[in-house]
Amino acid sequence: MTHGASAHHRSDGPQAGHAGAPSHDDLVDEKIIVCYYVAALTFLTISMLAGLLVALQLVHWNPFKGTELLSPGRWRMIHTNAIAYGFLANAFLGTLHWAVPRLTFHKVFSKPLSWFIFGAWQVVVLSTAFGIVLGPTFQDQPWILALAKKWHLPMNLGAQGLEWGETPFWIDPVALVGLALVAVNFMVPIGKSKGPMYVSLWYFMAAFVWTFLTYAMGNLLPEYAVAGTSAGAIGGLFIHDLVGLFVTPLGWGLMYYFVPIILKKPIWSHGLSLVGFWGLAFFYPLQGIHHFLYTPIPMFLQYGAVISTIAVELVVATVVINFFGTLVGRGKEFFDNLPIRYFYTGMVFYFITCFQCALQVTFTFQKLIHFTDWVVGHAHLVMFGVFSLWLFGIMTYLFPRLLGRPWWSRSLCEYHYWLSAGGLFVMFLDLTLAGIFQGYYWSSLQPWDASTNGSQPFWITRVFAGLAMFAGLLCFLVNLWMTARGAEATDPLPARAAGTPTA
Amino acid sequence: MFESKSGIFFIAGIGFFLLAFLGNGVVPMIMYKDRHEQTVEEVVNKRVMAQFRDLAQRYPESFHNAFGEPTEEACAEALRLGRQLYVGEGCWHCHSQFVRPVSNESRRFGPVSKSEEYDNELQRPVLFGTRRVGPDLSREGGRRSNDWHAVHFHKPQVVSTDSPMPEYPWFFDGSPDKPNRRGIAVMTYVQWLGSWLDEYPYYEELAEVTGE
């Protein structure tokens, strides 16, 4: 066990008062965490409603047909961007304000800076949303077309043509400054800490560097520097790295932090932690082109991307084995302890995702499933099944500590878990199957309508799976509201199970 | 090294990122560096001009209000605006622009996509796409008439009964025979797609290009 991990055991709980160790209240600004979580949950709600709108459009049930500002094409981009930048980024930033100071024994670099970043990030997310929704409406301006003609650049007021890089060009510089400040704010306490770093800090530190570089690469190069096939290669690298080098390392870093704390035992194998981190760091960024197989991007680069994807699957297996090794002997916690159940459910989904990845990047699979709903199912499994579930688990654990009282309703916590995990799993199976059907409809050269009509049963199922996930979120929001306003707990979770602070 | 701050910052953080960027990003950039990137003015061709003039004939009043005369310069402007709207409205999330050499795609859509097709200003960033709810559009130009597109954008289900595509009535001033500037721009862009290939399937004989 490393120094860092034993260190945060010493400071566990608000009452930490060992000699030399600063108290929790000195280290952690709990207010900003609550604000980040409120922002995150707000954007998650918006994102899920946007997803619902698109799902209804596909089954011909869109109630807002022909309404320009509610166009499914625009709200599809709200759906994905609100998840990445609104929900995941906000929830991660909030949680880092808890984890980093407690791991390093140092406050973040500057409290005013933290609040500035919080404000700036909400401006970035809201500007992205307004840009996407209003951009095409106001696109047709003489000065924009004049600039586009003069510079030979796309100049979209609204979305730019790269997935997850839709952030309008006029907000990109603010987002980049924000990401640089995030790195400074959290790297200073990490830099000040003494002795070898705990695993979580490896992941966090790398993530701060990677996120900035990835964002800069994807939002600048394919728009301003290169065109054509090489821009496609950069685009693939960007959409891949945003998951692999921003979301994934922050997610795993937090797992390495919260799982040992809640289980009150160290991670099973330090060696496997090392293999997991360095394997991910090396192989993950090499795979971008696997999103664009069979394109005119040079074939040897496509083969390289496929091979490194299969390699990272082996690395992922070591990480998952390490966490299940940690759980050995404490398996009962999976059933009794809600945050642990969220974490390990996410890890099972993570393993499925990565196993699926190793298969679906092969050229054989790509022939059939590229461009189909299989890919959409895969994306939901990663973003919701893994990282959102982990963040729900973390929030379930932290909110009682932040608010100083137990959850209002234990059963609503359970409903949140079952509706989220169950709904997601149904959606994943449904879309995966839909993808196989669509692939065969297309390659058998039936009229195009055969594929969209044949998808209807799957798309209808998807609407209901999505509604279940949304109902889970509503349970969580109601529970949070009642807890926050101090309602008498109806059926409180046993202290251990909801991670309620124990006296 | 493996657990130190500098090791993680410089090797994993910056080093591995740059390694991947060199391998996956810079290599294709170097391989294609001698390719000329066409401007929008350069990609305006006879075929898209024929479609552009056709739009001017079919919707004279709307066209005149939107673009004046069907000149090459106006056509370039329409292509720019059309592409901006194609991206802004999220068309590219359901329609790819890339025909693969597998799964009978070349029999359904047309010739397999080649690298040089993407070397122009209207592919910044490149719109390969990752999902096809609707068909690939990279060979869509000329397959259907401008009237078909106007009706289809206004209310897709009129001409494509079971289509799950959303409606775009804001491309028109009230009815499909009155496309506004946005509508004409998007239609010009769609008719341009694939106009650079050897074959351009004319849905209707357009007098100006039959002698081409």
Instruction: Assess whether pLDDT exceeds 80 at residue A149.
Output: yes
Tokens linked to A76: 């599809």
pLDDT confidence tier of residue A493, bands split at 50, 70 and 90: low
Inter-chain CB proximity B3 and A236 less than 8 Å: no
Asked whether A342 and A392 are in contact (CB, 8 A), the reply is yes
Q: Are residues B45 and B30 in the same domain?
A: no
Residue partners of A125: CB distance under 8 A and separation at least 6: A39, A43, A81, A82, A85, A86, A89, A90
CATH number for the domain that contains residue B203: 1.10.760.10
Mutate to test the interface with A, among B75, B114, B128 (most CBs of A within 10 A): B128
Q: B14, A145: Cβ pair inside 8 Å?
A: no
- Every domain range in chain A assigned CATH 1.20.210.10: 27-256
Does B170 sit within 8 Å of A230, measured CB to CB?
Answer: no
Which domain, by its residues, includes B9?
1-34
Q: In angstroms, rounded to a whole number, what is the distance separating the alpha carbons of residues A374 and A336?
A: 34
Do both B45 and B134 map to the same domain? yes
Average pLDDT over residues A489-497: 58
Residues of chain B in contact with residue A435, where contact means CB-CB under 8 angstroms, are none
> Does the distance separating the beta carbons of A213 and B168 come in below 8 Å?
no
pTM score over 0.90: yes
What confidence score (pLDDT) does residue A19 get? 56
Residue A198 gets which letter from DSSP? P
pLDDT at A8 over 80: no
A165, B125: Cβ pair inside 8 Å? yes
H or E element: which one contains A471?
helix A448-484
Measured between CA atoms, the residue of chain A closest to residue B83 is A154
Distance CA B6, CA B203 (A): 64
Shortest CA distance from A168: residue in chain B: B88
B44 plus B28 within the same structural domain: no
Q: C-alpha distances in angstroms, B66 versus B56, B113, B171?
A: 10, 33, 12
**A228 contacts on B by Cβ (under 8 Å):** 32, 35, 37, 115-116, 118-120, 123, 126
Which band of pLDDT confidence, cut at 50, 70 and 90, is reported for residue B111?
very high
Do B53 and B143 have their domain in common? yes
Contact B108 A445 (CB under 8 A): yes
Residue B1: count other Cβ atoms within 10 Å of its Cβ.
Answer: 8
Taking the CA atoms of residue A318, residue A323, residue A328 and residue A329 in that order, the dihedral angle to the nearest 10 degrees is 160
| Whether B81 and B177 share a structural domain | yes
Kindly state the DSSP code that residue A328 receives in the 8-state scheme. T
Tell me the C-alpha distance between A284 and A291, whole Å.
Answer: 13
Residues A217, A223, A226, A228, Cα dihedral to 10°: 120
Per-residue pLDDT band at A421 (split at 50, 70, 90): very high
Could you tell me the pLDDT band of residue A163, with boundaries at 50, 70 and 90?
A: very high
CATH topology (fold) of A27-256: Cytochrome C Oxidase; Chain A (1.20.210)
For B117, nearest residue in chain A (alpha carbons): A228
Q: What is the pLDDT of residue A486?
A: 84
pLDDT tens for residues A200-215?
A: 999 999 999 999 999 9
Clarify whether residues B21 and B105 are in a common domain.
Answer: no
> Do B52 and B20 belong to one domain?
no
For residue B141, pLDDT over 70 is answered with: yes
Domain count for chain B, please give it: 2
Q: Do residue B83 and residue B187 come from a single domain?
A: yes
- Residues B80 and B18 grouped into a single domain: no
Mutation for A interface: B2, B6, B19, B21, most A CBs within 10 A: B21
B55 and B126 belong to one structural domain: yes
ipTM of predicted assembly, 2 dp: 0.93
Q: Which residues contact A264 (CB under 8 A, 6 or more apart)?
A: A9
A452 → closest Cβ in B2, B8, B133: B133
Indicate if B143 and B178 belong to the same structural domain.
yes
Q: Is the pLDDT confidence value at A497 over 60?
A: no
Residue B130 one-letter amino acid = T
pLDDT at residue B206 in the model: 57
The reply to whether B8 and B69 lie within a common domain is: no
Which residues are A205's β-sheet partners? Answer: none
